Amino acid sequence: MTGQILRWNFFIGGHLSTSVPVRLVERTDEGQLVWLETGTPMWHTELPGGAHLRDIPPHDRPAGGYPAKAGRWPMGSALIHQPAGAGHAVFWFFGRRQKFRGWYVNLEHRVHHGEDIDVADHELDINVAPDRTWQWKDERSFAEKTGHPAYWSADEAAAIRAEGARLAGLAEAGTFPFDGSWCDFRPPKHWTTPPLAAAPARTVL
């Protein structure tokens, strides 16, 4: 149902990084679109010394995961396209006054459990500017993680990169999702910012 609140749970190397509520915009057999509002109350893992989860080797993390603490989504508002069965999601990012800032391709493995959208991040991503020029992001850290049992094998890495290259080709061609559709999206005015959900039931996949 449009406007339904779902939970977008983002995992890195099997450990939860972020759990934030989003609203369903549209769902079809081809996938779904969800809206993530800047400033939305969320949960994120509390890490030692302000470190980032992707920089902590899995064998140095607590087996049960890090504790989650309340915060707010710090990045811009985003419309997220999650195509069914695909190894990626595409974000339309918006800045002040809902100005479109560009696309972001997140390469990932995604599983749906009721109201939960569990995303296992594949590290390698693509930034796509409004003029559809693009560049890889995090290539070095993607290569460093390849072969580690908590991440992906060399064969899986090749498939992940191929998925990214396919999306880059769509950007160059100006075809969906980079055809200009949804760039003027505005959430319905009656949508309020989702409240803080209950603390995540688990912090490891």
Which pLDDT belongs to residue 14?
A: 96
DSSP secondary structure, 3-57, as one string: T-EEEEEEEETTEEEEEEEEEEEEEETTEEEEEE-TT-EEEEE--GGG--GGGS-
- What's the CATH fold of domain 5-173? FomD barrel-like fold (2.40.380)
The structural domains of the chain, with segments of one domain joined by +, span 5-173
Local structure of residue 97 (DSSP, 8 states): G
- What was the pLDDT predicted at 50? 80
- Across residues 77-105, what is the average pLDDT? 96
Q: What is the pLDDT of residues 2-56, one digit of tens each?
A: 999 999 999 999 999 999 999 999 999 999 999 999 999 999 998 888 888 999 9
Give the catalytic positions in this structure: 137
Q: Does the model's pTM come out above 0.85?
A: yes
CA distance 184 to 79: 11
Residue 61 Cα to chain centre, angstroms: 22
Q: Work out whether strand 68-72 and strand 41-45 pair parallel, antiparallel, or are unpaired.
A: antiparallel
pLDDT (average), residues 70-96: 96
- 99-153: pLDDT as tens digits: 999 999 999 999 999 999 999 999 999 999 999 999 999 999 999 999 999 999 9
Report which of 103, 82, 84, 85 is spatially closest to residue 94, judged by C-alpha positions: 103
